[in-house]
Structure formats: C-alpha cells, structure tokens
C-alpha cells in the first residue's frame, strides 16, 4: 500500500525532487497538492506527533512531562493548544521547535522532523511575554530578526511594522513600548519569513482590550492568508472564538482533540415556562438538571440527553405554558474544566459560585444555578 501523504511530503520537501529531477517540480501546486501517477494527494498536516514523550530525571525518579501525545494540526487552520499550567504545553512547543529533544515518539513539523533547520525557514514562533533588547528600536529589532533569515530588506520590515500598526513608532526604543506594542513587534518579526506555520504562545496575555482585539483580528487574518496558526493560550474565550480545532492536555496527556463544534456539541437545553407548579419543578430536579424560578417563571436547564420533548409535554400536561426553548452549546470553559479537573471541581466551582451569587433561585439536585448561568 502506497502512503501517498508520506510520498507527497517527501516530494514537497525536496527529497524526491532531487531523485526525480525537475519534472517532479512541475507536479507541485501551491505547496498543498501533489499529483502522482495514480492519484492526487493533499499535503494536509502541518504538525504531527506520534506517542511523543518527554521524561525528565528528577531526584524523586523519572517524571514524564509529556506522555504519548498524538497531535495532528492541519494546514491552514487555527489550532488551540490548551491545558493548565504545567500541563506540558511549552515542553511540547519546545520539542516541535527542536529546542529540546523528545525522550521517545515522533514529531514532524511541515513534513520534516521537529527541529529541522529547513522547517525553521517556514515557521515562526512568538513566545509568551517576549523580551526584546531594550536599546533597540522596533525597526532595529525587526531588522535583527530579518538578518537571521539572511533578509536585508528594510522595506519589508517597514511594511510589516506598518501592518501591525507600528508605522509611527518603529523608530522609538523598545523600552518605551507598551506590552501591546511589544507583542505587535513580535508579530511583525514572526511574519518576516512569510511563514506557513506560526507558533503563538499566549499571544493576547496581559494585553488591554483594544490591543487584545487587534491581535485577535491579526491572527484571523493569518488564517485567511492560508497560514497555519498554533496557539497556546489560557484565554479560553479567544480560543473558542477564533480556533477551528483544539487539543486539551492535562498532566502531559491528551484529553480532547478535535473540531470545536464537535467537542462543544451535546450541550444543554434551557426551557422557560409559566404557570408551573412547585410539584412539577421538584420532579424536574435531578443530578443532571438545574431548576430555578425568576420573577415567578420556571427556568429549567437540562442536558439534551434528558429528552426535552418529554419535559415539554410534562409541563404542558400540568397546565404550564412553555415560553421558550433555547438549545445551549457547551462552553469551552466547561469542557476545559471537565478535562483538567473532573466533575468534583466543577461542582465545587458551581457551589462556590452559589455562595457568592446567591439570589432568589431555587436549588436543584446537586448544582444550583446562578444569575450568570441563567442569563447566559
């Protein structure tokens, strides 16, 4: 069986080109598709890891920071890489960039083994809270990073700095830049080599709302330009808003990976009804549902596994009037908490919120609704 994807990657990155000569060159199109005698193949994975493991020797014995991680990032997507502090995100990024070696497993970036210098010509990395040499101006910093690619094009640097809205400040020392401006310099330097793949570590961390939105919009533009963006972030609302796919890791292990819409499906349904008796509301309460009254109106938040049709029928049969039925998608925050902490912590969180936000709600089985949950 021919592994067309592998063969295509070999062609894409030149190994077969050298073997087949210039004819093979003409078979490539936009670095995305390779045509072979017998088929056409999409070169669709920007990052792939198989059983990636990183173990450190510590005084208390070997400690695995990354365990058997299987990661697939497709080309042209924004991929969110999530996990709590210490989950192994930065270690994974460092392995993918070739800054550290894995203990076992495989990692490929743009079809080459992780750390390959050829891949580095086509990728960029923006670390969390980047530091720049403070004596340099934005322009000098950009030119410095350009020189690492052998680029001496001042106009390109100017164009990129203009693109990130630093056109008027490019000749000011970096020490006078705000956090947002420094982050934008980082993005400008990360575009110097017209990268196919960008690694962004907490790109919006610590920024004011305006800078935050600007950076987020830039990232969306990167995807529109066909680039792959790999984001490691704790800003779950951003990730939910801009990412196509996410992976959540905890203690070095993959917990979830997939398209956001798929991961967040299977949510809950909010039913609002008038004229519902206490007796019926008591029946609706159980471990999975939450029931509350607001201004005399019943609000039942039930999982879609509870057969909402039966609930609606029960309300109507008891003389109640259904006012609204709102299907609610699971939030990334909920998925994240489930993934990294388990149900106990989620319940604990809800309980702690109950004590903080207690109002005129009626309690349910185990979890009580809050104003935020009702209104969201």
Partner 1 sequence: MNAVLSIAKTTIGEAIRRRVLLVILLIGVLFLVIAPGLSVLSARQNYTVLTSFTLGIIQLTSAVIAIVLTVYLLPNEVERRTIYTILSKPVYRWHFLLGKYLGAVGALAMMMLLMSTVLVLVFKIMQRDASMEDVMRLATAPIFFFVQMSLLAAVAMFFSTFVSPIVNIFLSGGVYLIGTLFSPVFQDLSNNKNLSPAVKGAATLVHTVVPNFAQYNIQSGIINRGPELRSVELYYATIVGYALIYITVFLIAGMMVFDRKEV
Nearer to partner 1, 12 or 268 (CB): 12
Residues numbered 169-188 forming contacts with partner 1, rule: CB under 8 A:
186
| Minimum gap (Å) between residue 244 Cβ and partner 1 | 23
**Per-residue three-class SS string for 148-187:** HCCCCCHHHHHHHHHHCCCCCCCCCEHHHCCHHHHHHHHH
The CA-atom distances, in angstroms, between 176 and each of 134, 182, 184, 299 are 9, 9, 14, 52
* Three-state DSSP class for residue 278: helix
Query: In terms of Cα–Cα distance, which of 311, 253, 221, 310 is closest to 52?
Result: 253
| Minimum gap (Å) between residue 22 Cβ and partner 1 | 25
Nearer to partner 1, 128 or 244 (CB): 128
**φ, ψ (nearest 5 deg) of residue 348:** -60, -40
Give the C-alpha separation, 143 to 200, whole Å: 20
CA dihedral 236, 237, 241, 246 (to 10 degrees): 10
Query: In terms of Cα–Cα distance, which of 249, 254, 242 is closest to 215?
Result: 242
Nearer to partner 1, 55 or 165 (CB): 55
Nearer to partner 1, 205 or 267 (CB): 205
Helix, strand, coil fractions of the chain, as percent rounded to 5: 40, 30, 35
**φ, ψ (nearest 5 deg) of residue 165:** 65, 35
Segment near partner 1 (CB under 8 A); pick from 4-12, 22-30, 148-156, 290-298: 148-156
Tokens of 54: 């990183």
| Minimum gap (Å) between residue 85 Cβ and partner 1 | 16
Counting residues that bind partner 1 (by CB under 8 A) gives 33
Nearer to partner 1, 195 or 308 (CB): 195
| Minimum gap (Å) between residue 64 Cβ and partner 1 | 15
Query: In terms of Cα–Cα distance, which of 230, 313, 299, 233 is closest to 45?
Result: 230
Residues numbered 98-137 forming contacts with partner 1, rule: CB under 8 A:
98-101, 117-118, 120-121, 123-133, 135-136
Give the C-alpha separation, 4 to 12, whole Å: 12
**Binding-site member from 137, 142, 182, 189 for partner 1 (CB under 8 A):** 189
Residues numbered 36-75 forming contacts with partner 1, rule: CB under 8 A:
none
Nearer to partner 1, 12 or 361 (CB): 12
Nearer to partner 1, 193 or 292 (CB): 193
**Residues 44, 230 contacting (CB under 8 angstroms):** no
Nearer to partner 1, 41 or 97 (CB): 97
**Binding-site member from 149, 171, 266, 282 for partner 1 (CB under 8 A):** 149
| Minimum gap (Å) between residue 127 Cβ and partner 1 | 5
**Binding-site member from 63, 147, 176, 286 for partner 1 (CB under 8 A):** 147
Nearer to partner 1, 26 or 135 (CB): 135
Sign of CA dihedral 303, 304, 307, 308: positive
Q: Based on the shown chain and the rule CB under 8 A, indicate whether residue 157 belongs to the binding site for partner 1.
A: no
Binding site for partner 1 (CB under 8 A): 94, 97-101, 117-118, 120-121, 123-133, 135-136, 144-145, 147-150, 186, 189, 193, 199
């Amino acid at each position: 069986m021919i592994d067309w994807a592998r063969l295509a990657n070999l062609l894409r990155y030149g190994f077969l080109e050298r073997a087949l000569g210039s004819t093979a060159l003409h078979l490539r199109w936009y670095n995305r598709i390779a045509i072979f005698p017998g088929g056409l193949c999409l070169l669709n994975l920007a990052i792939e890891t198989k059983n990636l493991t990183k173990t450190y020797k510590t005084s208390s014995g070997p400690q695995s920071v990354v365990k058997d991680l299987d990661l697939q990032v497709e080309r042209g997507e924004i991929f969110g890489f999530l996990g709590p502090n210490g989950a192994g995100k930065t270690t994974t990024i460092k392995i993918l960039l070739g800054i550290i070696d894995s203990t076992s497993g495989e990692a490929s970036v743009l079809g080459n083994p992780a750390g390959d210098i050829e891949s580095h010509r086509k990728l960029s990395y923006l670390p969390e809270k980047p530091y720049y040499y403070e004596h340099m101006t934005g322009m000098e910093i950009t030119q410095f990073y350009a020189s690492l690619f052998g680029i001496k094009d001042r106009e390109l640097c100017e164009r990129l700095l203009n693109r990130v809205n630093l056109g008027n400040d490019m000749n000011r020392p970096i020490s006078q830049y705000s956090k947002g401006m420094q982050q934008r310099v980082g993005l400008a330097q990360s575009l110097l080599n017209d990268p196919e793949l960008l690694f962004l570590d907490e790109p919006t961390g610590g920024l004011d709302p305006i800078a935050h939105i600007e950076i987020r919009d830039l990232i969306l533009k990167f995807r529109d330009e066909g680039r792959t963006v790999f984001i490691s972030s704790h800003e779950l609302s951003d990730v939910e808003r801009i990412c196509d796919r996410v992976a959540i890791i905890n203690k070095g292990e993959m917990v979830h990976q997939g398209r956001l819409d798929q991961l967040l499906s299977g949510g809950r349904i909010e039913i609002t009804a008038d004229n519902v008796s206490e007796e019926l509301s008591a029946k609706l309460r159980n471990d999975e549902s939450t029931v509350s009254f607001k201004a005399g109106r019943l609000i039942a938040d039930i999982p879609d596994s509870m057969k909402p049709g039966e609930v609606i029928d029960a309300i109507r049969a008891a003389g109640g009037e259904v006012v609204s039925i709102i299907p609610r998608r699971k939030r990334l925050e909920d998925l994240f908490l489930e993934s990294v902490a388990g149900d106990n912590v989620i319940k604990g969180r809800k309980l702690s919120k109950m004590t903080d936000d207690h109002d005129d709600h009626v309690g349910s089985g185990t979890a009580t609704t809050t104003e935020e949950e009702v209104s969201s």
